């Protein structure tokens, strides 16, 4: 009985009631899982010299990471794990702008800590692989385990376009998977389905730019590598590539929402009298701007 | 409030009430997704010299593409993404013939635009791969990224038979996955199941002809390559192969419906008095010709 | 209207009311699908010289084939597709013995026709691969595309044991996936789950004997190859291996049921007064012998 | 009728009412399946010289093994198959400590028998592979088929950390997949989801230590190899590695529960007045310590 009371009190002490902090924590944990599975699978393919992983296992690693992240935070924050999706949600009015910082800080922290964890877990392998040299380019480059770099043949603007289109496709897919007025995935299976969507993007649009399609997946690991020994070349490499996976996905997300609306959703809403001004009219307007882009179940 | 009214009005302006246009748009978007994932995964395997993709990732790329296409249009148009399935639906009376053009135009547009998108995204890689030469045959041939070509050892008529049988199997599979009087997939999981069906066809019947099993998957990309620099050889190659993936799947689809009915569905319908002429009789007749071949949920 | 009546009459003519024939047809179609996907994926891996398939794609090919077979016949016949499972169902009283021939004949016909179909589809590739020589052994042996042969290092009795154990595991898995008093797969997803079970068996117990685990998967294709040009060596090869995949799975199936009962099901039934002799008692006894081994939904 | 009575009596004789024995049997069967699929897939990759399996098929082999184990025991014992998860369940109060021995004995027996079964099934292949030499290290080492060994470059303490973190991730994933107040997997699909979680861990955190993340997966097979001919080197190899996969996962499990609570669950419980001392209060406390870590459906 006394123990029970102590536990009750402890729970009440530890329980955070602030919704924004709770959502930030959820984004941190889910992005941590995404990045641990994702970057871990790249580390294994690179450092294992293709004997313990291939581009396919990298695609599946990010896919299963997304799946686990959605299970870990979908019911709390919507499991964005992606600053582009968070900002797109703010743009279309799904998420109040004041919540944006909590989401992005959570995602960046989770992503940064996951990079440090992969570094920690693979440190001996890293040392063994390149004899202690942490390089961004060259035959034993390892910076690509953490952040993305464009293929040598890619021009900057086409890389931008690539990330822009890939992210639009990601967002179209997420919207379709959740669209209950269309052919949504069965509730409770959308984590798997979105995971396979991300795996599919990696298999078909992954080679040229490394498919960041997500600022939270790319920038914090890049900062980590800058601090951990790879140096500032991580920002200058690829013709100063670093800002592309930050900016292009944000624009691509918004355009993805627009495309899904133009092709499907605008024409598929419950019909409503215009200018009625009543509650139902408001509800309709809300539908206009609140296409589901979160993984809330 | 004024903004709300403006949004309402805009929505009403943009919302297309015409069912045929809406279905055409849905077919366009879903076929676009199918082809972007599919052709993208071939591009990655070819241009990445097997380091970024294999025949397995191509199989999965088309499979996940089908899955995403079904999520994107299943509730609007049935997500055919395949002129053979659309015409088979017309033949058996599931779809009025007058809708056929809207479906096929939508599919062809989506498929053509996806080819252009893959070309745009992989342009630098294409240039890097073959030094700017866009060839249909030879060691660095790249036309096969877009449309299908038979293996060198295949005769034309056997290739025809191959596409014919593969498409019949596709249609048998789709019918079985939707058949609620048999062992249908759980609603909301059939997108994944049909995706795996297509992946399975690629793994077991993909090598000889490239498993087009779909005019909308093959003809528009071929036209695109003819225009984009590969020239008219795309139509003459493989003993003028181009018409086979157009004609054989259409015939195969109808035969697939016939086979599923002969083996399963004819004998598995609610029994009914013949010549009763009442509503129930009509319903029965409707069942005869309306075996579900669409992905409507 | 007249057309409607004609269709009604045609349907009634074609509709087979005899349950056994309907079940035989369902077994034929489902086994055909299983074997077309399965043997097709082996053909692609062998004849494509590992460029169009690997052992993994063979494992997935059989897995997706099982999945499609269950969708195609699960609601009609239970989709055994396996004479060992059919006979085990008869032994435990799930299926009347008089139905056994219809099931097995259906399975064998489906399996034989699938072999012929693979032969037809891959004929040009077969000719190209070995210059027209259809051999059972040697560097360009192709008989293994159709039936299974043990690895050269395997002794006959260990191969028997291998098939015996693998089939027992298959049956334990099927029972567990359907066991509603335990942790069954969600109805409508068991086709996928059993497909993955078979893929898993191939990945972990496939190398030594080719994991026939099924007389209907092995004997009809072997007979087909004997007739189609490989000759009687298909029966003498591997120390007269042919009878092992027929006999061992039948024994293994029964033992698999026994193991699942000893470890799980006997102790997990609704408790009942012994010797009560009432209806409930009978129901209990029925449960003893009717553990679900079919894919009926 | 007499036969019926005999069967009833037999059932009642064989039916074990003791819950602990039933749960031990369920753990034995499920761990047997996990290890047969898992170790079998390693055997196939190693002894097949990468032609019949790769690291990917090993990852999938363990994943599908976990899936099948959950189906086989999830409704009886919760399908832990892992002494670390069992002890963590005891620590947080989900499972009474008195049940721990039954669970662990069941798991160890199942794991040991699975190792013996793999040895039996692959005996001819083992003999063929290394000419009868069963070695722990060297180019034809085969002890790694059964138990895990660290990569040569790994230090002991980092290997410990690796197993510790990997197991924490496993437990976070299992908690998230079951958390009905968050974004749980659909009931009846969690076996598949947890299987994919384990496959994902293998793809991203598998290379350095062999991802035992489970004493029941590692110790019994090691004991088996010591007895079966590999000798005591299995305990001394890797700087006496054997105790790491036993101890690290147990600690990691508890920390995993803690992390999931700190980031998600503490802040996501039904709110309750502290010190109320009524039934509801008790229920709340129970929630504090009973986060679902079992696969009970």
Does any domain span residue A83?
yes
Does any domain span residue A170?
yes
> CB under 8 Å to A16, separation ≥6 — which residues?
A22, A25, D266, D267
Q: How far apart are CA A55 and CA D79, in angstroms?
A: 33
Cross-chain Cβ contact D204/A17 below 8 Å = no
Question: What pLDDT does B268 receive?
Answer: 87
Q: Note the pLDDT tens digit of each residue in A52-64.
A: 999 999 999 999 9
Question: What pLDDT does C285 receive?
Answer: 31
Nearest CA to A103 out of A92, A93, A95 is that of: A95
> CB under 8 Å to D212, separation ≥6 — which residues?
D147, D148, D163, D218, D245, D249
Does any domain span residue B173?
yes
Question: What pLDDT does A269 receive?
Answer: 83
Residues C264-286 as b/e (b if ≥16 CB within 10 A, e otherwise) read bbbbbbeebeeeeeeeebeebbe
Tokens of C243: 């009878």
Does any domain span residue C179?
yes
Q: For chain C, give the longest Cα–Cα distance.
A: 72
> CB under 8 Å to D281, separation ≥6 — which residues?
A4, A8, D272, D273, D274, D275
Higher pLDDT, A261 or A289: A261
Q: How far apart are CA B120 and CA D216, in angstroms?
A: 52
Q: Which candidate in B124, B189, B192, B294 is best for mutational testing of the A interface (most A CBs within 10 A)? A: B124
Q: Note the pLDDT tens digit of each residue in B225-252.
A: 999 999 999 999 999 999 999 999 999 9
Nearest CA to B177 out of B245, B249, B256, B251 is that of: B256
* DSSP string over B221-275: HHHHHIIIII-THHHHHHHHGGGHHHHHHHHHHHHHHHHHHHHTGGGGSPP--TT
Nearest CA to B121 out of B21, B20, B43, B42 is that of: B43
pLDDT along chain C (297 residues), means of 10: 61 80 97 98 96 97 98 97 97 95 98 98 95 90 97 96 98 96 95 98 97 98 97 96 98 97 89 46 34 60
CATH of the domain at A154: 1.20.1080.10
Q: How far is CA D57 from the centre of its chain?
A: 18
- A1 confidence band (pLDDT: 50, 70, 90): very low
Share of chain D above pLDDT 70, in %: 87
Question: What pLDDT does C271 receive?
Answer: 58
* DSSP string over C6-26: HHHHHHHHH----HHHHHHHH
**Closest Cα in chain B, distance from residue A231 (Å):** 28
CA within 13 Å, CB half, D271: 4
Total domains in chain D come to 1
Question: What pLDDT does D230 receive?
Answer: 97
Average pLDDT, chain D: 90
- D274 confidence band (pLDDT: 50, 70, 90): very low
Does any domain span residue D87?
yes
**Closest Cα in chain B, distance from residue C160 (Å):** 28
List the domain range (segments joined by +) for residue C80. Answer: 19-289
Does any domain span residue A87?
yes
Share of chain A above pLDDT 70, in %: 87
Count other C-beta atoms under 10 Å from residue A75's C-beta.
22
| Nearest CB to D169; choose among A36, A61, A71 | A36
Q: Torsions phi, psi of C295, nearest 5?
A: -95, 15
Cross-chain Cβ contact C8/B284 below 8 Å = yes
Nearest CA to A84 out of A174, A8, A151, A209 is that of: A174
Q: What is the dihedral of CA B111, B113, B118, B123, to 10 degrees?
A: 140
Chain B residues touching residue C121 (CB < 8 angstroms): 158, 161-162, 165, 205, 208
Whether residue D272 has pLDDT greater than 60: no
Chain C residues touching residue B183 (CB < 8 angstroms): 70-75, 79, 191, 295-297
Q: Which candidate in B3, B4, B192 is best for mutational testing of the A interface (most A CBs within 10 A)? A: B4
Cross-chain Cβ contact A297/D206 below 8 Å = no
Q: How far apart are CA A91 and CA A108, in angstroms?
A: 20
* DSSP string over C225-290: HIIIII-THHHHHHHHGGGHHHHHHHHHHHHHHHHHHHHTGGGGSPP--TT--SHHHHHHHHHHH-
Chain C residues touching residue B55 (CB < 8 angstroms): 48, 51-53, 57
The continuous run of DSSP H or E covering D275 comes out as none
Q: Which has the minimum average pLDDT: A118-132, B10-24, D127-141, D184-198? A: B10-24
- In this structure, chain B runs to a length of 297
Chain B residues touching residue C71 (CB < 8 angstroms): 173, 176-177, 179, 182-185, 193
Question: What pLDDT does C266 receive?
Answer: 87
Does any domain span residue C297?
no
Cross-chain Cβ contact B189/A186 below 8 Å = yes
> Which residues does chain B have with pLDDT short of 50?
1, 273-291, 297
D25 burial class (0-12, 13-18, 19+ CB within 10 angstroms)? buried
Tokens of B280: 């129930």
- D8 confidence band (pLDDT: 50, 70, 90): low
Q: How far apart are CA C196 and CA D172, in angstroms?
A: 25
Whether residue A268 has pLDDT greater than 90: no
Higher pLDDT, B170 or A291: B170
Higher pLDDT, B12 or A132: A132
**Closest Cα in chain C, distance from residue D264 (Å):** 27
In chain C, count H helices and then E strands: 12, 0
Q: Note the pLDDT tens digit of each residue in D48-93.
A: 999 999 999 999 999 999 999 999 999 999 999 999 999 999 999 9
What is the mean pLDDT of the segment spanning A160-164? 98
Q: How far apart are CA B58 and CA B38, in angstroms?
A: 7
Whether residue D46 has pLDDT greater than 70: yes
* Look-up of token digits 């992503």: A111
ipTM: 0.91
Question: What pLDDT does C268 receive?
Answer: 87
Chain C residues touching residue D43 (CB < 8 angstroms): 204
Question: What pLDDT does D277 receive?
Answer: 42
Q: Which candidate in D45, D201, D204 is best for mutational testing of the A interface (most A CBs within 10 A)? A: D204
């Amino acid at each position: 009985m006394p123990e029970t009371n102590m536990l009750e009190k402890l729970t009440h002490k530890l329980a955070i009631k602030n919704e924004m902090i709770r959502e930030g924590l959820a984004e941190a944990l889910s992005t941590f899982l995404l990045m641990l599975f994702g970057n871990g699978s790249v580390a294994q393919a690179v450092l294992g010299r293709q004997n313990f992983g291939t581009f396919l296992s990298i695609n599946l690693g990010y896919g299963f990471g997304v799946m686990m992240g959605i299970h870990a935070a979908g019911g709390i924050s919507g499991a964005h794990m992606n600053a582009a999706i968070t900002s797109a949600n703010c743009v279309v009015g799904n998420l109040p702008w004041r919540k944006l910082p909590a989401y992005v800080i959570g995602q960046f922290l989770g992503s940064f800590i996951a990079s440090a964890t992969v570094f920690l877990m693979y440190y001996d392998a890293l040392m063994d692989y390149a004899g202690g040299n942490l390089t961004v380019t060259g035959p034993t480059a390892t910076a690509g385990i953490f952040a993305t770099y464009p293929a040598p043949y890619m021009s900057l603007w086409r890389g931008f376009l690539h990330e822009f289109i890939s992210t639009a496709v990601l967002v179209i897919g997420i919207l379709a998977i959740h669209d209950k007025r269309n052919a949504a995935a069965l509730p409770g299976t959308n984590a798997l389905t979105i995971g396979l969507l991300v795996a599919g993007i990696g298999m078909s649009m992954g080679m040229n730019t490394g498919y960041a399609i997500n600022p939270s997946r790319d920038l914090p690991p890049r900062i980590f590598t800058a601090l951990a020994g790879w140096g500032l070349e991580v920002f200058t490499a690829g013709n100063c590539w670093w800002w592309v996976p930050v900016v292009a996905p944000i624009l691509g997300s918004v355009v993805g929402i627009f495309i899904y609306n133009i092709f499907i959703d605008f024409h598929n809403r419950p019909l409503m009298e215009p200018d009625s001004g009543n509650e139902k009219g408001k509800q309709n307007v809300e539908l206009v701007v609140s296409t589901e882009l979160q993984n809330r179940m």
